[in-house]
Amino acid sequence: MIEEKEDKKENKVMSYQETMEYVDSLQVYGSVPGLTNIRNLCEKLGNPQKDLKFVHIAGTNGKGSVLCLVSEVLKEAGYVTGRYVSPTIFDYRERIQINGRMITKKDLCIYMTRMKEVCLQLTEEGKAHPTPFEIETALAFLYFKEKNCDIVVLETGMGGELDATNIIENTLVSVFVSISLDHMKFLGNTLKEIAAVKSGIIKKGCIAVTVRQVPEVMEVLEDKCRKMGVQLTVADPEKATGIVSRAGKQKFTYGSRKEVTISLMGKYQIDNAVTALETLDALSGKGFAVSEKVLYLGFLKAVWPGRFELLSKKPVFIADGAHNRDGAKRLADSVRFYFTNKRIIYIMGILRDKEQEEIIRQTCPFAEQILTVPTSGSRGLSSYKLACEVKKFHSSVTALDSVEEAVELSFLMADKDTVIIAFGSLSYLGKLITAVRNRDKKKEVKI
């Protein structure tokens, strides 16, 4: 626990505005892979992570959806369940939740004030200032411990072995969603190299669960589990049968479980759902059993914004966080599955450090018209530069100045049978979803 100081000025809790200004100021410390800073920080806090139990999720696409399904079931079963996710869509506080409720503004201010004091102590000792992600991760651990969480479901920020979340020791289940090429600058240039980094979250005594991966990735995970003496369970989406998608829900049968229903659309969500099922079965052997009734209810209740989310029905308006080559491929598969022979308009916004060309190549053949929007921040890309990239593959592209303008124009261009799909960086989807919903506040859109 952090020692209280006598100086009342130093102990003064920041206001919410001051807290968010402090969070913004931390961006100068960037992203630095490694565990030294997070160890220093957590040690100052009394190593709260050592008093928690975890489900740890790594991979390229699907972490959030699996986290959502697993944590919703655990919550329904009566376990006090922490969630730690990134990035967020609507509110900074979304990244730290207990039983689906965001950390309050008051608690965020209290805990971030503690972080600020500890970071000052570290720099006064000549140690490096922690990065924003390291601070948020340590804050989450302290919050979850002091709120007496029974279990925490968390996703890695980037990679695995050197990700700040990997300071944890009490991992019950290590989970791997689809692993593909992304963040190559940090993680490696081949699937084997990236898988090796992500496999670093496997701890002795845990159970490892993975969706069926491509052979070179499976080889890496199997080898790591063999060396660690860890059981590896493979979730196989090919064994999901009787898949029916309608009215914003999907049903499927997997093994002995018949007609499991999820409120997550997108063909790829079946992959995530069977991975979540295998994760929950693994947890039952670690002291966190759930009844079948609770499992079915949790799956039905789980909702994850911005992942093939239906915002409007006439016209159909979908928001999806496809922001890398694997996400683009999965989005393309879903477009083929749901919208063959439909007139499609895209709204597209992509960060500068993503594989724009590959994302465009995978998705553009389905669109009649593409509208590009700017993304913000240090990694942002202007709508004009994105439109120039799109023009290499598609002739009908328009660069717009804002997300709101793109939403209005897409509705003007659409008839009731048109499909509008907005995708790319999650950083702009919150603003887009809000803009769509604000067009008619009286109309409730049920997913």
pLDDT digits (tens, 9 = 90+) for 268-324: 899 999 999 999 999 999 999 999 999 999 999 999 888 888 898 889 999 998 888
Q: What is the CATH number of the domain that holds 165?
A: 3.40.1190.10
Q: Distance between CA atoms of 115 and 138, rounded to whole angstroms?
A: 8
What is the model's pLDDT at position 39?
A: 97
Are 342 and 408 members of one domain? yes
**Residue where a domain stops, chosen among 268, 301, 334:** 301
Counting Cβ atoms within 10 Å, is residue 124 exposed (0-12), middle (13-18) or buried (19+)?
Answer: exposed
Are 215 and 315 members of one domain? no
Are 175 and 27 members of one domain? yes
What is the model's pLDDT at position 445?
A: 44
State the pTM of this model.
Answer: 0.88
Are 326 and 419 members of one domain? yes
Whether 3 is covered by a domain: the verdict is no
**Residue where a domain stops, chosen among 301, 322, 345:** 301
* Domain tally, the chain: 2
In terms of phi and psi (left: phi > 0; alpha: psi -120 to 50; beta: otherwise), the region of 7 is beta
Are 224 and 347 members of one domain? no
What is the model's pLDDT at position 9?
A: 46
Q: In the sheet that 257-262 helps form, which strands lie side by side, from edge to edge?
A: 240-246, 249-254, 257-262
∠325-385-360 over CA atoms, to 5°?
25
What is the model's pLDDT at position 421?
A: 96
CA 91 to each of CA 19, 94, 97, 223, 438: distance values in angstroms, whole numbers, following the listed order: 14, 6, 12, 40, 17
Residue ranges, the chain, pLDDT below 50: 3-9, 442, 445-447
**Residue where a domain stops, chosen among 277, 301, 325:** 301
Q: What is the signed CA dihedral for 193, 195, 197, 199, rounded to 10 degrees?
A: -150
For residue 341, the enclosing domain spans 309-438
Q: Distance between CA atoms of 26 and 378, rounded to whole angstroms?
A: 13
What is the model's pLDDT at position 6?
A: 44
User: How many other CB atoms sit within 10 Å of the CB of residue 123?
Assistant: 12
230-251 as b/e, with b when 16 or more CB fall inside 10 Å?
A: bebbbbebeebeeeebeeeebe
What is the model's pLDDT at position 304?
A: 86
At position 5, the amino acid (one-letter code) is: K
Q: What is the CATH number of the domain that holds 324?
A: 3.90.190.20
pLDDT tens string 378-423: 778 999 999 999 999 999 999 999 999 999 999 999 998 899 999 9
Are 293 and 316 members of one domain? no
371-391 as b/e, with b when 16 or more CB fall inside 10 Å?
A: bbbbbeeeebbebebbbebbe
